[in-house]
Every structure is written in structure tokens, then in C-alpha cells.
Amino acid sequence: MSELREVAGKLLAEFGTSATGPQLLGRVREVAGGFSDTLRHHCRPVDTPDGLFVLRGLEVDDSEIGPTPVGWATAGDSGALYDIALLLLATVMGNPIAWEGQQDGRFVHNIVPSPGHETEQTGASSTALLSPHTEDAFHPGRAHLLMLCCMRNRDHIATTAASVRKAHLADADVGQLTRAVVPILPDDAYEAARNFTGEAPPAVPALFATDEGVTLRYDPAYTPLDDADDAYRTAYGRLSDELARVSVAASLSPGEVLVVDNDLVVHGRVPFRARYDGTDRWLKRASVRVPGRRTRPPAEASEHGYGQTALEAYAS
């Protein structure tokens, strides 16, 4: 990972910022194409039923990165070197994406506890358990891969993760959950999407069968299960129980990058009490699409996405 940090430092010196414009994105793509085979091997796609792995070795200087921001809107260029490093990693793995309606369209997000958001089901929360979920489950253009890079975690707060490929599901339950019965609504991080007044929310399946096994699209906190029939709710409950049974906890240390297959793995976070004194948990997040990947129902292509547009770093 020293190669990655060195290249990120050169790009930061060249551009003086981590704000992603066409010129920086072009250079990121150019230099990422020249990475060594060793680094590329470490950044290979998630290829096990666990659906996740941790990259280590990206050194973080605690004094150099400054205090943990009290919200993404005030973060600015805090930890800019690691914004670029994560963007480089994302580019090796696929096509980084951003969202017009989230964190001002940034390709790398700052995940920090924010005053007034403690009990929400978003990355800005703290005292509430962040329920296991598929990242951006409401949207058909959601990422295939999610990357979480730890900047600071003095309290050893765990990220939780559970793979549907490790769960034991009866065929009858899979049959129920591959039906499109209820929608998944946008989460609180997407204010414009939650106020969307266009077409009705589309019903979507929680599971999808592929040649390699089932994939999932799951966010119980934003799924109106009361509108589903009894058989579907019962099957959904058993899926939730199984995901809880196989859940693992990863307490990331500074410089570690958790890579999650967003089609197989739901992730969350244990509750904690934020201090807002500059020492709280701080992660960087990047989302990646993998061109040509076939892990989702074709019907998703017709969904409206609640008016939200995913921005791709590089044209397909």
C-alpha cells in the first residue's frame, strides 16, 4: 500500500485538492492503470462467499489528518490524501460513482457522527444501531462494491457485515423473497429523493437468483413491510434472523480499508456515544460499479430511482 500512498501524495501535490474535477479524474485513471501487479492482486474483486475483505497498510498520521469533522459539510479537504488514495483504489476495482443528491456529488464521502443526527438510520448517526442494509438499496444504480477506509477509530467501534451466501434459507423463503412485493424507500441522507413526487415507488424483490447464487437488496429500516402479505413478511423475518446469525464485526484501525460486495453483504454499525471533540470515529467511503457485472434483475432498468442520478467517474 506504500505505492498507493506515494501516488496519492503526488496527485495531491499536483492538484492541491481532493475535489474531483475532470482533470483530476483523468489523472487518477491514468496512474491507476500503471499500478503494479502486486497491488492489483490485492485489489481483485471479492471472490468468496464472505463477500468482503480488508486491505491493510495504508498508513494514517493521526496528527496530520487533523480533528474529526463534525459533519460532512464542514469536512472540506480534511484527509485529502486519503480521498485520492480511495479514489485510486476504487478506479482499480471498477468505476467510482457519486450521487447528485448526497454530499454535494463527491466521489469520496466523509462518514462522521453529526450533532442532531444521532438517532437516524444514516452514516451520520451514533447512539442508534445502524441496521444492516444494502448501500443505497432504494436505487437501481447502486454500487456493486462499497469501500470504507478508516481515518480514526479510537473507541474501536465495529462495522457489522453479513453475507447472504453464508445464510441458510429454505427454498420456499427464497421463492417468496424473489417476488416484487414492496418498495425500498430512500433513506434520510437523500432529502430530494424522499420528497420525490413522480411515479409511485416500485415494488422490488429482496433476493435475486443468479447462476452463482442469490444476491440481495435489503434495507428493513426503509421497507414498508406492513404493506406485504403474511407469507412475505414471515420469509423476510427469517432472512433477517439468518443475516443476524452469520453477522461478523470488524473494528477497523486507521489505514484499513474494508471492501464489501454490495450485492452479497449487508453492513451496519454498532451504537456509540459521540463526543464531538475532534476524536470521534471517522471513515471515508467510496462506491464502485463493476462494468459488465450481472447480479441484478433486468426489471431494475425501468425503475425511476426517485429522481436521483448516479454520476460515473468515467464514461462506460
**Spacing of C-alpha 47 from chain mean position:** 18
Measured CA to CA, the distance from residue 45 to residue 37 in angstroms comes to 14
pLDDT attached to residue 49: 86
pLDDT attached to residue 303: 95
pLDDT attached to residue 142: 97
Q: Is the pLDDT assigned to residue 292 strictly greater than 90? A: no
pLDDT attached to residue 221: 96
Measured CA to CA, the distance from residue 271 to residue 134 in angstroms comes to 18
Residue linked to cell 503494479: 36
pLDDT attached to residue 195: 87
CB 128 within 8 A of CB 271: yes
Domains of the chain: 2-312 (3.60.130.10)
- Provide the grid cell at 246: 452469520
Model confidence at 278, in pLDDT bands (50, 70, 90)?
very high
Phi (first) and psi of residue 79, to 5 degrees: 65, 35
Q: Which of 213, 217, 270 is nearest to 239 (CA)?
A: 217
pLDDT tens sequence across 43-86:
776 778 899 999 998 999 999 999 999 999 999 999 999 999 99
Residue linked to cell 460499479: 289
pLDDT tens sequence across 185-205:
999 888 888 889 888 999 999
pLDDT attached to residue 212: 86
pLDDT tens sequence across 99-144:
988 898 999 999 999 999 999 999 999 999 999 999 999 999 999 9
Model confidence at 19, in pLDDT bands (50, 70, 90)?
confident
Q: Is the pLDDT assigned to residue 42 strictly greater than 80? A: no
pLDDT attached to residue 45: 67
Phi (first) and psi of residue 68, to 5 degrees: -60, 125
What pTM value is reported for the model?
Answer: 0.95
- Provide the grid cell at 307: 429522481
- Provide the grid cell at 43: 485489489
pLDDT attached to residue 316: 65
Calculate mean pLDDT across residues 196-216.
93
pLDDT attached to residue 101: 84
Q: Is the pLDDT assigned to residue 215 strictly greater than 80? A: yes
Measured CA to CA, the distance from residue 45 to residue 43 in angstroms comes to 7
